[in-house]
Every structure is written in C-alpha cells, then in structure tokens.
C-alpha cells in the first residue's frame, strides 16, 4: 500500500476534458492527462483492500461489477505511487493484452466495485491504467517481443476486433504462427470503425498493430471470409481456425425503411466518418441537418458527438427506457452496477451547443414522413413497458424535423452469410454455440460472435480464454495464463 492515509488525504481528480468549444472543432481525443504529481496522488488513494472487489468480477442481479480480466489493480496502483512504471506495466500486461484500448473505452467496471465508492468516490483506476500504458510507450518499455521458438502449428483468426487481436497475441506468444483475416481495409474491427476518433485515436490502434506485426503476426486485409475466402481453403492451410466475427447484424426498428435517403445504421455512419478522417477528406453528412438518433446508449452518444462535429442544425437522441435517477437508490446499493444517469461527452457537447440535453426518454419512432424517397420528419410517441412488452401511449405523438435518422438500437447476432459459410450452430440469440469455445474439429469461436454484443474488456477476456482452448487442442496442454 503506497500511502496508508492516501484515501483521506487526496480527493479524486479525473483526467480533464478539453474545452467543449475547442474540441467540437476537431476529431482529436477529448481527454487530456494529469501531471505526474497528481497521478501519483490518485494512485495513493487506493486502500489495497483485503478483498479487492475491483479485480474480482462478481455478478450481482445479472450484471457484473469488477474487472473481468482480474487486473491486479492494488498492485499497479502501488507501483505508480512508488514510480515503478516498468513494474506497473509488467503487472498490467499479465492480465490485460491491450490496456491502451480499455483505458479509453471501457466503462470501468472496476471502479463501480471500488470499496471507496461505498462512502466516497472510487479510485481513478481507469485513468491510472491509461497513465501506465502511455508512460510505458513514452519510456520505450513497450517494444516487440517475438517468441523465442515456433511450434510449427498454424492458426487462422477471422476478425481483428479486440477478441481476435487477443487470441492472436496469446497464440503468437505461445509460438504458433498466426494470420488474422480482416474484411475491412484496416485492422481493429469496431475499435477502428465503430468507436470514433474522439474516444480512441486510430493512431493508438496502428501503434499496437505495428508491434504485433514485428512479433510475427500476419494480417490479411480486405479478405472477407465466407465471400472472398472459403472455409475449405482455410481448413486446408491451418491447424486451427478461430472465429472472432462479432455480432454485427444491426437491429432495425420495425416501422423504419432502411432504403430511404437519410436513414442509416449508426455503425455505418460512424464508419463513414472514420474513413473520411483516415483519408483526410471532409464528411459533412450531417451539415445543416436535423439529426435524430434512435438509441440512448454509448453508440448513440458517439453519433451525437459526430453529428455536432459535422455541423448539424440540431440533434435528438431517443431512448425507450425510463430516465435513470441521478444518484443510487436504496434498492441499488454498492457494489451493484449503479443504475444512475450518465451524461457522456457527446451529450455534454449538445447541452453546451444547443442548450438542452439531446435525450428524450420513454420515446420511440412511430412513423417516418418522407417525400420522393427522402426522409423529412418523424412522428415520435411515448412508450411504457408492461409485462416486459413495449406499448405506445396514444395521444402522445409529436412531430420532429429529421433530415438524418440514425439507428443505434444494438445488434441481433452474427451476420447470416458467416453462419452459412461455416455451417455454424446458433443459439436463440443468433450467436455461435460452443463448448469451451470449441465449435467443431479445429474450429473455435469467441468474442461478441459467441457471447453477444458486449464490452471491449469482455472481448479481451473471451480471446484469452479461447486462446487456452486452442492451445490445448494443438498441443495437448497449455502454458497460456
């Protein structure tokens, strides 16, 4: 424990955000860093609990709090306090392959379970993790470490999202030859094309991919397995195949036609903006338009922030669920996941720019008004949940101007052409059925395609566990931790 009284001596300080008026003019990351002195103080707030819930990953009422990767959080905080960055990195990489990703996009399940959250505010675990990995890159501690020997086994990983990168990383370190097949023109999956640059700068992904290539991992881009590459071709070349294909089939709203001009799925919209940024071109898709987003989650918030940067005239975010309370309720005690209202970066920007929170709760789209195949407005309606079913409340209709309607309603499972190409067994949720990540002879699956749409940290967890299963299949035992 770095400082016995640290949790009493220092107040919590999050990494500061750039001024809203400044950051909405570009697509750079909106967070900045604390100086080293303050970061050490933040690490000193860790109490080194006898039972650290932060790293325990426990399920309460069907939801997990605590880190699924079981990061050694009190240990890394202690190393920060003592200035031992190399040791902190060693402890962090023992459990987390990609802290540069999780420390930017993870909702910090660890902090929700921090003991200090019982009576005070939790330790800045998320920001501390970011400090460790970024300092390690700056100091030259993050460098390629190719395996000392090779096993002679070859593995194909289909998909380069966080689960695919994790499987490849662990299997490569074990000595297997790994090739990652990615259907897009750049690796990263939803890290690259589903999360905007403001949250995860794409140079951060490129930096890690460069290291992985130096360690011997091969990347085959623009290679869509199931279309460009057949299952039979892969079976003939590789000893094992791992499907990390995601659950990318977007959920549509039953009364919205996706063929109308001005109607898009949110991920397609975010992808178009990222591609424009990487190609150094201007995307003004939302310029001077009234934008409505169906979905109140993180993806919807990312669309709010993107539309603002594209100079939209207005932005509205529809959420079917009730507005959460601002503070924990008695029926939702620590360490349960806190059912409280979170105003994220895009929503803060909308409030500053337009004067109001963009979110409208208990509301969905009842009707789309179009003219000559182009959307003009929408009719919204209030909804309520009765016995688990959504019901529209007649008489609550409102008409909103809408030139661009973005659907951010989640995903419904693995895309059909993938399941057909591999003849995959599916669950009732259209995810891949496995037994200890094993699908059939030499074929494995992990990540969102197996688990369902989830967090980056869970994708990394899936990748690590799957790598062990693949290694056992190839070698008869595993040394992967």
The predicted model gives 208-220 an average pLDDT of: 98
Contact assessment for residue 335 and residue 67, using Cβ atoms and an 8 Å cutoff? no
pLDDT in tens, 407-426: 999 999 999 999 999 999 99
Whole-angstrom Cα distance, residue 423 to residue 415? 12
Structural domain boundaries of the chain? Answer: 6-138, 154-248+412-475, 263-407
Whole-angstrom Cα distance, residue 230 to residue 205? 28
Q: How many CA atoms lie within 13 A of 72 on its CB side?
A: 16
Q: What is the pLDDT of residue 353?
A: 97
pLDDT at 349 over 80: yes
The band of 215, judged by pLDDT with boundaries at 50, 70 and 90, is: very high
pLDDT in tens, 312-326: 999 999 999 999 999
Q: What is the pLDDT of residue 233?
A: 94
Q: What is the pTM of this model?
A: 0.96
The predicted model gives 55-59 an average pLDDT of: 92
The band of 390, judged by pLDDT with boundaries at 50, 70 and 90, is: confident
pLDDT at 242 over 90: yes
pLDDT in tens, 244-284: 999 999 998 877 899 999 999 999 999 999 999 999 999 99
The band of 306, judged by pLDDT with boundaries at 50, 70 and 90, is: very high
pLDDT in tens, 5-51: 999 999 999 999 999 999 999 999 999 999 999 999 999 999 989 89
The band of 435, judged by pLDDT with boundaries at 50, 70 and 90, is: very high
Contact assessment for residue 393 and residue 278, using Cβ atoms and an 8 Å cutoff? no
Q: Which two tokens stand for residue 341?
A: 């209202």
- The residues, ordered by sequence, that sit 6+ positions from 235 with a Cβ below 8 Å of its Cβ are 241, 442
Q: What is the pLDDT of residue 109?
A: 96
The predicted model gives 349-365 an average pLDDT of: 97
Report the largest interatomic distance among the alpha carbons of the chain, rounded to a whole angstrom. Answer: 70
Domains 6-138 and 154-248+412-475 agree in fold: no
pLDDT in tens, 107-156: 999 999 999 999 899 999 999 999 999 999 999 999 999 999 999 999 99
The band of 59, judged by pLDDT with boundaries at 50, 70 and 90, is: very high
Whole-angstrom Cα distance, residue 280 to residue 90? 37
78: left (phi over 0), alpha (psi -120 to 50) or beta: alpha
Helix (H, G, I), strand (E, B) or coil at 101: helix
Nearest to 296 by CA among 366, 364, 359: 359
> Percent of the chain, pLDDT > 70?
100
DSSP 340-397: -----HHHHHHHHHHSS-SEE-SEEEEEEEEETTEEEEEEEEEEEEETTEEEE-TT--
Higher pLDDT, 97 or 50: 97
Contact assessment for residue 42 and residue 13, using Cβ atoms and an 8 Å cutoff? yes
Q: Which CATH architecture has domain 6-138?
A: Orthogonal Bundle (1.10)
Q: Which two tokens stand for residue 136?
A: 């390690």
Which CATH number applies to 154-248+412-475? 3.50.50.60
Mean residue pLDDT of the chain comes to 96
Q: How many CA atoms lie within 13 A of 298 on its CB side?
A: 13
Q: What fold, for 263-407?
A: FAD/NAD(P)-binding domain (3.50.50)
Q: What is the pLDDT of residue 46?
A: 96
The predicted model gives 220-225 an average pLDDT of: 96
> Percent of the chain, pLDDT > 90?
95
The predicted model gives 294-306 an average pLDDT of: 96
Contact assessment for residue 14 and residue 30, using Cβ atoms and an 8 Å cutoff? no
Whole-angstrom Cα distance, residue 232 to residue 433? 20
Q: What is the pLDDT of residue 255?
A: 77
Q: What is the pLDDT of residue 1?
A: 65
**Block residue for tokens 């090739």:** 179
């Amino acid at each position: 424990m770095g400082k016995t009284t640290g949790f009493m001596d220092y107040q919590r300080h999050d990494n500061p955000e750039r001024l809203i008026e400044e950051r909405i003019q570009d697509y750079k990351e909106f967070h900045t860093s604390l100086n080293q002195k303050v970061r050490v103080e933040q690490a000193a707030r860790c109490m080194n609990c006898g039972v650290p819930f932060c790293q325990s990953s426990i399920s309460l009422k069907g939801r997990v709090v605590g880190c699924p990767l079981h990061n050694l959080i009190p240990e890394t905080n202690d190393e920060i306090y003592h200035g031992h960055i190399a040791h902190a990195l060693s402890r962090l990489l023992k459990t987390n392959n990609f802290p540069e990703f999780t420390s930017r996009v993870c909702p910090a399940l660890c902090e929700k379970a921090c003991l200090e959250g019982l009576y005070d505010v939790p330790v800045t675990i998320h920001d501390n993790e970011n400090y460790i990995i970024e300092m390690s890159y700056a100091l030259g501690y993050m460098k390629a470490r190719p395996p000392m020997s090779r096993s002679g086994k070859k593995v194909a990983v289909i998909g380069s999202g966080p689960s695919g990168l994790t499987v490849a990383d662990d299997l490569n370190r074990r000595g297997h030859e790994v090739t990652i097949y990615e259907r897009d023109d750049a690796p990263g999956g939803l890290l690259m094309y589903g999360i905007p640059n403001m949250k995860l700068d794409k140079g951060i992904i490129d930096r890690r991919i460069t290291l992985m290539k130096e360690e011997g991992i091969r990347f085959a881009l623009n290679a869509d397995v199931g279309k460009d590459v057949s299952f039979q071709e892969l079976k003939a070349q590789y000893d094992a195949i791992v499907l990390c294909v995601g659950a990318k089939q977007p959920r549509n709203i039953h009364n919205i036609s996706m063929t109308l001009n001005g109607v898009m799925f949110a991920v397609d919209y975010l992808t178009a903006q990222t591609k424009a940024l990487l190609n150094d071109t201007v995307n003004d898709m939302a310029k001077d338009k009234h934008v409505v987003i169906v979905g109140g989650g993180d993806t919807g918030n990312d669309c709010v922030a993107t539309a603002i940067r594209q100079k939209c005239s207005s932005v509205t975010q529809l959420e079917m669920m009730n507005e959460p309370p601002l503070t924990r309720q008695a029926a939702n005690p620590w360490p349960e996941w806190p059912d409280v209202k979170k105003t994220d970066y895009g929503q803060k920007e909308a409030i500053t720019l337009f004067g109001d929170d963009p979110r409208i709760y208990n509301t969905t789209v009842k009707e789309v008004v179009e003219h000559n195949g182009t959307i003009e407005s929408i009719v919204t309606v209030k909804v309520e949940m009765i016995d688990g079913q959504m019901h529209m409340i007649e008489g609550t209709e409102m008409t909103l101007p809408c030139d661009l309607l973005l659907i951010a309603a989640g995903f419904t499972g693995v895309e059909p052409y993938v399941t057909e190409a591999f003849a995959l067994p599916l669950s009732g949720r259209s995810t891949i059925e496995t037994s200890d990540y094993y699908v059939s002879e030499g074929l494995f699956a992990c990540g969102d395609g197996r688990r369902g749409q989830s967090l980056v940290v869970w994708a990394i967890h899936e990748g690590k566990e799957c790598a062990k299963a693949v290694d056992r299949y190839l070698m008869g035992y595993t040394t992967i931790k």
